[in-house]
Structure 1
Amino acid sequence: MTHRHEDIWIRTDDPSVIGAVRRAAVALATAAGFDQNRTGQVAVAVTEAVSNLVKHAVEGAVLVRPHPERPGAVELVAVDKGPGIADLARALRDGYSTSGTLGIGLGAIARMATGWDVHSMPGRGTVLVLHFTRDGLHGPPLRVSGLRRAIGEESVCGDSFAFADAGDAISVLVCDGLGHGGAAAHASREAVRIFMEDPHAPPAAALERLHRGLGHTRGGAVAVVRVGRENVTFAGLGNVSGWIAHAEGRQGMLSLPGIAGHKGRHPRQYEYALPPHATVVLHTDGLTDRWDPASFPGLFAHSPAVVGATLLRDAGSRRDDACVVTVKQGQ
């Protein structure tokens, strides 16, 4: 999968965004071949989810896009920084409608979606992820997600990602184009193009090819990872961070100094054991590397999209483009 759709996060501080996000979701569903009834369900679910953010959330934001892992599906990601949902189980039950909470209508929203996941901490906020398919069938478990956010009010993000799933292993690229804006975006998109020519090559070989191929661009920090069933192979050049995270902590993966396309050592790859139920996290320096899994109770039992969106919300900096990719092998 290559990332060709620009992730546009919309702040939910005005009621007018409800209609804007609904129209975007309906347009994506229509383009993907959803029938009228299914498109209507998407419209209702998205309207309810965004309305809750507008009415109750603190610093809410929403993203609607083609699903990065499941072709033909539509994904909605909603994040906020409060108030949180104190009793998720109660919020998911029919008839729960206590005012003043993001839990209103959550059960109905979840039933209309093909798949959904939510993580909430009172006082810290909520992340809700929904996806919709034409036929409503669930398909295999989702294993990988990538999210991007441009610096400030920019509409173009200088960070990009790509991934390819070979069944027994998932290969991922993350590139942070040098600087930001159009030139940085060109460099990172070129990295995606080069990577996808042979996405299942060993990470060191892929990184060597990227280093050679980005010479005509600004270049950037690049990491390539191959996530197998029991191990992770990682090669990085520059300040893209790689982590193996679980509920109790995390292990960092080694990236060499340099700028892909301009200067750096001969790429090397390193292999790490992958504990059961761990999540592999790659992110650019638009996220601080000081996040601690222990400060997110229960998060790393959730889907890759919820993990990534939570980290983007809490560790992301508005002073730089940001990109995070999360991978689970579903053990």
Structure 2
Amino acid sequence: MREPLVLDCEDVAWFRDQPDGARGAAAALGRRIGLGEQRTAQLVLAIAELASNITKHAADGSLLLRVLRTRESAGVEVIVVDSGPGMADVPAALRDGVSSVGTLGVGLGAVQRLADQFDIHSMPGLGTVQFARFWPHPLDPRLTGEVAVGGITRPIGGEDTCGDSWAARIDPGEQNAQAPAEDAAPARETPAAPGWAAMTGARPGEYAHRTGTRPSDRTEYALGHRRSQLVRGAAAGPGDGILVMSCDGLGHGPMAALASQAAVKAFRSSTAHTPEQVMEAVHRALRGTRGAAVAVARLEVDGRVLFCGIGNISASVVSASSRSNLLSHPGIVGHQMRQLRTYEHRLPAGGALVMHSDGLSERWTPGDLAALLHHPPALIAAGLLRQAGTRRDDASVVVAKGAR
């Protein structure tokens, strides 16, 4: 099986009604990361076309520039989000010579040809989301596959820095590791909180009756239409898994961003295998900062999802017809974590794990994502930000399709 493609991502800047600023920033970014003169010129041309389309066609359109990295290479991705009017026939809009405003109409077709990867989703009355990726040439064939995890961040209105972040990495799992991770604290047998079932309405499931497992090892909780199992001493399964983190630094602005950046650094440098162990490493790294809400998930090749969350990160396993919420616990990572609990869920075929900060409303439904689920995770995240994001707080969304 081909190893899932996971990229490090750095959101650089958002642009609204600033086509000249976007072009200039793209040129500087291409030079800074070593994209090459010709490839940088092609990037700038694509940015000019996309920014022009926002001005001519879009309502409340924004363009995001970001850096994508692997160990060997760096590229630039541009994401465009708008709230209307949308396109009734996307394939027609991609054909050269098609225009709704009497211009030459080569914009989107040109961008698609120039980019190494391009995707678009549009619905009349709702708007359009699209992305284009530009890598140095000759293109590394390993970069042509679908990226397994994608996310997006946006600062609160009036700020340039965002206190939210996300990150992902491939992990070989405990059974593949040569030695125990130094920063991976032993799994703790945390006593059950008194009255937890009564407070949450959770009911013990039938798992223990069927398997003979002690209730202290696994307990099932009703979340949405499916069951989520509380797992004591959860261990990573065999084979590669994908670890994903969502972080919301407390407050907003530079101090929140410092906490969030510290969490990303700890996550990427950690060799821990399970969400609980990663959370312990992030907790240590955030001491001395204002702290954060953090959620960590591990997705495995068989569809198993392990999840551990502290604070107000919303997490859901979503299919085209269902949304099952995953349980986080109160606390502030870096300051106070009374209990760490790991929950096990299943990722449905064709579904996705979605985690987002409270910069997005929770009033979205599976139907809002149904038409997006066959697109890459970055496009799903951008579509959800358009659908549910607010400008009253920093916002972030991360979407994972798993290691399968």
TM-score (norm 2): 0.75
Does 2:248 correspond to 1:176?
Answer: yes
**Distance of 1:173 and 1:117 partners within structure 2:** 25
CA distance in structure 2 between the aligned counterparts of 1:219 and 1:74, rounded to whole angstroms: 30
Q: Return the alpha-carbon distance in structure 2 between the equivalents of residues 136 and 118 of structure 1.
A: 24
Partner of residue 204, structure 1: 276
Correspondences of 1:143-158 after superposition (within 5 Å): 143-158=148-163
Judge which range, 305-314 or 27-36, deviates more.
27-36
Task: Check the 8 A contact 1:141/1:330 in 2, yes or no.
Answer: no
Q: CA deviation at 1:96?
A: 1.6
Counterpart residue number, 1:59: 60
SS at match of 1:127: strand
Q: CA RMSD in A?
A: 2.1
Alignment match, 1:322:
395
Q: Which stretch of structure 1 is more off in the superposition, 170-179 or 207-216?
A: 207-216
Helix, strand or coil at the partner of 1:23: helix
Question: Percent identity between the aligned chains?
Answer: 45
Q: 1:326 to 1:65 in 2, by over 3 A?
A: same
Q: Go from structure 1 to structure 2 and tell me whether the alpha carbon gap of 1:199 and 1:48 turns closer, same or farther (over 3 Å shift).
A: farther
Distance verdict in 2 for CA 1:51–1:69, change over 3 Å: farther
Mean Cα displacement is larger for which, 162-171 or 72-81? 162-171
> Which structure 1 residue ranges, 5 or more long, are not aligned?
none
Query: Per the alignment, in what secondary structure is the counterpart of residue 74 of structure 2?
Result: coil
1:95 is matched with which residue? 97
**Separation in 2 of the partners of 1:274 and 1:200?**
22
1:256 maps to amino acid: H
Q: In structure 2, what is the equivalent of residue 239 of structure 1? A: 312
Tell me, what secondary structure is at the counterpart of 2:39? helix
C-alpha contact (below 8 Å) 1:69/1:145 kept by paired residues: no
SS of the residue 2:260 aligns to:
helix
Give the structure 2 partner of residue 224 of structure 1. Answer: 296
Distance (whole Å) between structure 1 residues aligned to residue 102 and residue 363 of structure 2: 33
Residues 15 and 21 in structure 2, CA contact (< 8 A), matched pair in contact too: no
Q: Per the alignment, in what secondary structure is the counterpart of residue 299 of structure 1?
A: coil
How far, CA to CA, are the matches of 1:68 and 1:246 in structure 2?
A: 29
Inter-partner Cα distance in structure 1 for 2:35 and 2:254: 34
2:122 and 2:265 map into 1 onto residues whose CA distance is 37
In 1, Cα distance between equivalents of 2:13 and 2:37? 26
Count of aligned pairs between the two proteins: 325
Instruction: Tell me which of 115, 118, 121 is aligned to 1:116.
Output: 118
Asked if structure 2 preserves the Cα contact closer than 8 Å seen for 1:7 and 1:149, the reply is no
Q: Which amino acid aligns with 2:107?
A: G
Q: Which residue of 1 aligns with 2:88?
A: 86
CA distance in structure 1 between the partners assigned to 2:361 and 2:304 by the alignment: 25
Aligned residues of 1:98 and 1:104 also touching (Cα < 8 A): no
Asked if 1:291 corresponds to 2:296, the answer is no
CA distance, structure 1, for counterparts of residue 386 and residue 57 of structure 2: 17
Taking a change above 3 Å as real, the CA distance of residues 316 and 69 of structure 1, as seen in their structure-2 partners, is farther
Could you tell me how far apart the structure 1 residues matched to 2:263 and 2:293 are?
Answer: 10
The answer to whether the 8 Å contact 1:254/1:270 transfers is yes
Tell me the equivalent position of 2:4: none
Partners of 2:14 and 2:59 in 1: how far apart? 15
Partner of 1:251: 324
Distance 1:293 1:181 in 2: 32
What displacement does 1:68 show?
A: 5.7
Q: Secondary structure at the match of 1:48?
A: helix
Residues 322 and 94 (structure 1 numbering): CA distance in 2 closer, same or farther, change over 3 Å? Answer: same
The aligned residue for residue 163 of structure 1 is 168
Segment drifting more, 256-265 vs 315-324: 256-265
What is aligned with 2:219? none
Q: In 2 relative to 1, CA 173–127 (structure 1 residues): closer, same or farther, beyond 3 Å? A: same
Structure 1: how far apart are the matches of 2:96 and 2:403? 30
Alignment partner of 1:266 out of 330, 339, 343: 339
Q: 1:75 aligns with which of 74, 77, 83?
A: 77
Q: Is the 8 A contact 1:113 1:136 kept in 2?
A: no
Decide whether aligned partners of structure 1 residues 28 and 46 sit closer, same or farther in structure 2, where only a CA change above 3 A counts: same
Question: Could you tell me which residue of structure 2 aligns to residue 35 of structure 1?
Answer: 36
Q: Secondary structure at the match of 1:280?
A: strand
Give me the TM-score of the superposition, normalised by structure 1.
0.91
Q: Which has the larger radius of gyration?
A: 2
Decide whether aligned partners of structure 1 residues 151 and 175 sit closer, same or farther in structure 2, where only a CA change above 3 A counts. same
Query: Is this contact kept in 2: 1:291–1:315, CA < 8 A?
Result: yes
Partner AA of 1:268 in structure 2:
R
With over 3 angstroms needed to count, the CA separation of the structure-2 counterparts of 1:100 and 1:58, relative to structure 1, is farther
